[in-house]
Chain A
């Protein structure tokens, strides 16, 4: 049985002078291909080495997150959100906490807001550092950039472990604040990491930014135009690489983001190189925000005293909380019927929606380009499949 029942070769018009081109070849890439991110499969039809049709197949990592959440208490879903985009759990917590806070009208103390910004921006740093490492690994820069990136990422994960108890499954936010205050010595340690980070960025830029091979492989590959990005609802660094000036930290100003001055880098071409540079530039802006937040961190409570941890029942209603996660707009849509668990719970995952343009990006490119185009989208299958 053909794996490509839906994408039959017959549906694709054969080139006119058939004897010159030969047969079309269908290959199934994944779900275990090591350079595809996670268990994700692409059914690709090739003409020579050129992609003429691509069909993404996902769902291998479906864990029924939304339905489980409808049977959990509101708090009980919080640790599950860690496992959506398992690279950056804190921003997932934040988006969910924001949605519930909107739903129940819970205020967040000042210090907790600052802690959220600090941990959220650290998450962005470690996500982008990891991503550019993976992306370059996909391009065939075996090991070296990935190890450099992971060396820096590990320092941030150590900070998370000291603060939240876990490197990746942080489970840090609570409705109306954060779970734990900074332990002693954390701030000094974090300051050291933040101060040392630009050195890594410089090093990384020296390493590969002007590398001719990298430029040849990435420039003009996987182009998303501004119009395409807007029409497809692309968000995050990927939209900004196409020149769409849309950053929820500026647009929504959720939390206390209106207090910080930072710039939103924008790309021009929307190709893989722009998306790669976008991450490097965004890390510098994140460092700016971190410096300001760490300087201004006030003292005070970190939890709203009126919010109960058990028997939490928000009044009936609905709310949508969204944040600028490192991958794009991450939203949680909740409907409450007044019970202890949500009536409806829906996640708007940035990875999934950014993936919708995959075929348009890949058409006409080589198979090896498909790998780096997928890498530059920055997907985490935990979030795509939920």
Chain B
């Protein structure tokens, strides 16, 4: 019969319409600004800088190595390296970024900076309400705006942050171990030197010590 297909289709529409009152599956929209869907854990949008501890200027993990700046496909990161070194969260002397800017209007949220960062210093944020009435200055984020605490990172990406923390803790443990060994080696070297001052030394040994120390750095 002509019109059969149309009636069938309309029945389907009616089923959906009435179903939307009882079935959550059929009514999937939410009233956005008032209602929000729960955040999906893996979500990413723009990068931010992680810092440890309470003071963002002291705890910034970034050591200004310029790798993310070089690898960024649209070149939206601008870094200026410091001349001096400051102690980082674990007390080791490091360079730090005097200037670290990300142009959010250029960034395409590809996450390559996160992948290439060897220090776990840059991570992806989930903050998307970034609109600004100043389209140049307002979208160029400086490091004071980019710096966010490790606790915040844990809040937005719990699983990933836990894994990163575990890896960092392991690295730091190794670092400490190495420092201890280096200190022990230095002490041994000093002792050897002291001993050598008394007796003429084999010069090569102290040299290898020094180079191995260089490597641990």
Contacts and interface: CB of A to CB of B under 8 A. Distances in A.
Contact of A79 (B16, B40, B41, B73): B73
B3 interface: yes
Given A161-B42, A207-B13, A310-B67, A76 B112 contact: yes
Contacts of B2: 212
- Main SS at interface, chain A: helix
Interface stretch (A32-40, A164-172, A220-228): A164-172
A277 interface: no
B32 to A, nearest CB: 14
Contacts of A184: 159
Interface string B1-43: 0111110110111001000000001001000000000001111
A163 B6 CA distance: 40
A151 B19 CA distance: 14
B42 A206 contact: no
B41 A183 contact: yes
Given A148-B16, A309-B116, A211 B44 contact: no
B28 A210 contact: no
Contacts of B9: 206-208, 211
Contacts of A58: none
A373 B72 CA distance: 40
B108 to A, nearest CB: 6
Contacts of B44: 165-166
A75 B112 contact: yes
A212 B73 contact: no
A79 B42 contact: no
A210 B10 CA distance: 12
A209 interface: yes
A337 interface: no
B12 A207 contact: yes
A353 interface: no
Contacts of B159: 183-184
B153 to A, nearest CB: 14
A162 B40 contact: yes
A80 B73 contact: yes
A179 B44 CA distance: 14
A266 to B, nearest CB: 24
B115 A213 contact: no
Contacts of A215: 5
A162 B5 contact: no
Contacts of A268: none
Contacts of B28: 151, 154
B6 A206 contact: no
Contacts of A310: 67, 71, 116
A291 to B, nearest CB: 21
Contact of A158 (B40, B73, B116): B40
A281 B4 CA distance: 22
A49 interface: no
A164 B44 CA distance: 9
Contacts of B116: 309-310
A122 to B, nearest CB: 15
A202 to B, nearest CB: 10
A194 to B, nearest CB: 15
B157 to A, nearest CB: 10
B124 to A, nearest CB: 7
7 contacts: A72-B73, A161-B40, A162-B41, A171-B111, A207-B8, A207-B13, A212-B4
Task: List the 10 closest pairs (A to B, CB-CB), nearest first.
Answer: A79-B110, A210-B5, A165-B44, A76-B73, A211-B5, A207-B12, A207-B9, A165-B42, A161-B40, A206-B12
Given A78-B112, A211-B5, 19 more contacts: A76-B71, A79-B73, A82-B110, A151-B28, A158-B40, A161-B43, A162-B40, A162-B41, A169-B108, A171-B111, A179-B115, A180-B42, A206-B8, A206-B9, A206-B11, A212-B5, A212-B6, A213-B6, A309-B115
Interface of A: 72-73, 75-80, 82-83, 144, 148, 151, 154, 158, 161-166, 169, 171, 179-180, 183-184, 196, 203, 206-215, 309-310
